[in-house]
Amino acid sequence: MRVTSLSDLPLRDNLVGLQPYGAPQDPVPVSLNVNENTHPIPDDVVADIVASLAAAVRGVNRYPDREFTELREALAGYLGHGLKADQLWAANGSNEVLQQILQAFGGPGRSLLSFTPTYSMYPLLASGTDTAWIPVARPADYALTTDGVVAALREHQPDIAILCGPNNPTGTPLEREVILAAYDAFDGILIVDEAYQEFDAERESAVVLLPGRPRLLVSRTMSKAFSFAGVRLGYLAADAAVVDALRLVRLPYHLSALTQAAATAAIRHSETMLAAVSDIRSQRDRLAAALTELGFEVHPSGANFLLVGGFTNPGATFSALRAQGILIRDLGIDGHLRITAGTEAETTILIDAITALGPGGAR
Ligand SMILES: *Cc1c(COP(=O)(O)O)cnc(C)c1O
């Protein structure tokens, strides 16, 4: 029997009343709610990853390489643009990378600014590290402008700012001039969260802006385009001094030998691993066209998901689809739902189901 509830415990003040991150994890046939890559990893790549894991298991009596040198070299090679291994860092998901950044550069008396609606983990990571969170609302079309971003950064002078591009949950691409203006507008750490960068074929990664900008940090992940969410591998490209700062807060041996082996093997096959990206983009565009045709408002997206407005009752549509084994995301944005782009078959099922609900979705 449970004898204690959360409210009986001497919890830190800034955690009182918070809810843990909690996207539903239902084993449904069509799962399009957390922007995973629903395309499976090709069999030959699976075989090579398994062989690498088998070799790594023989060494797990020892602690893993604390500096995960081979993986960092592989990540540097994957990103290109002359990046060196000492500019790369990785952790168990980019969430852990972001947490380490907040541990090193945030904390009590310091602040983190981001432009909402944006990734729901930012405020949770802020409170977990006792960093004040400053939300600044995006314009109605969700697109950041240099003037708006510069004004917010000058006014609040945060210690850390995060620009999410493409932005989750709106899909909005992030323009290079906004990043450049933001960097010059304040003295703090500027993080560009590029979790969805590979899906935004029209724009180059912000890693090209790193030379001469030691306060610019580009966060990436293998969770989305690489179909690797279950492995937990996020990474960062930045000045080598930033990497030294993160070494001060990381737990020793934070990346297991198995994680390092699996990720290094997957990067060897990056071309095959990323082959699904163009299909996902075309399913996204097909879904956008179909929903527009049905009268919904589809926001421009550079990611593997769409934010869709025009639902009379988003909660009712969410429930109606869930009852049919289709899971999408209700983020509490008025009239809106977020939908991950899946395989061709999943997209067809979803379009048919929403079409059957009629104009505006379920009531
Ligand atoms: C999915 C996502 C991440 C990735 O998190 P991981 O911990 O790497 O799985 C990071 N940022 C944003 C905005 C995301 O949507």
Ligand 1 atom closest to residue 229's alpha carbon, by position in its atom list: 9
Q: Give how far Cα 283 sits from Cα of 88, 199, 276, 350, 356, Å.
A: 32, 12, 11, 11, 19
Q: Phi and psi at residue 89, in whole multiples of 5°? A: -140, 155
Element (H, E) at 235: strand 234-237
Residue closest by Cα to atom 7 of ligand 1:
93
Pair 86, 146 in one domain: yes
Report if residue 83 sits inside a domain. Answer: yes
Pair 247, 298 in one domain: no
The confidence score (pLDDT) of residue 22 equals 72
Pair 226, 256 in one domain: yes
Report if residue 282 sits inside a domain. Answer: yes
Overall number of domains in the chain: 2
Give Cβ neighbours of residue 182 (< 8 Å, ≥ 6 apart).
146, 149, 150, 153, 161, 163, 190
How confident is the model over 98-131, as pLDDT tens digits? 999 999 999 999 999 999 999 999 999 999 999 9
Report if residue 8 sits inside a domain. Answer: no
Q: Where in the sequence is the domain holding 312, given as residue range(s)? A: 26-41+275-357
Residue 234, ligand 1, Cβ within 6 A: yes
How confident is the model over 315-361, as pLDDT tens digits? 999 999 999 999 999 999 999 999 999 999 999 999 999 999 999 99
Distance from residue 356's CA to the centre of ligand 1 (Å): 32
Pair 307, 206 in one domain: no
Boundary (domain end) residue, out of 215, 235, 269: 269
Counts of helices then strands in the chain (DSSP H, E): 12, 12
Burial class (CB in 10 A: 0-12, 13-18, 19+), 272: middle
How confident is the model over 229-263, as pLDDT tens digits? 999 999 999 999 999 999 999 999 999 999 999 99
Cα–Cα nearest to 150, from 181, 177, 188: 181
Boundary (domain end) residue, out of 269, 295, 313: 269
The CA distance from 348 to 150, in Å, is 42
Boundary (domain end) residue, out of 215, 248, 269: 269
How confident is the model over 262-273, as pLDDT tens digits? 999 999 999 998
Describe the chain by its helix, strand, coil percentages, rounded to 5.
40, 15, 45
Distance from residue 134's CA to the centre of ligand 1 (Å): 20
Tell me 233's DSSP state: -
Average pLDDT over residues 204-226: 97
Give Cβ neighbours of residue 10 (< 8 Å, ≥ 6 apart).
none
Distance from residue 61's CA to the centre of ligand 1 (Å): 31
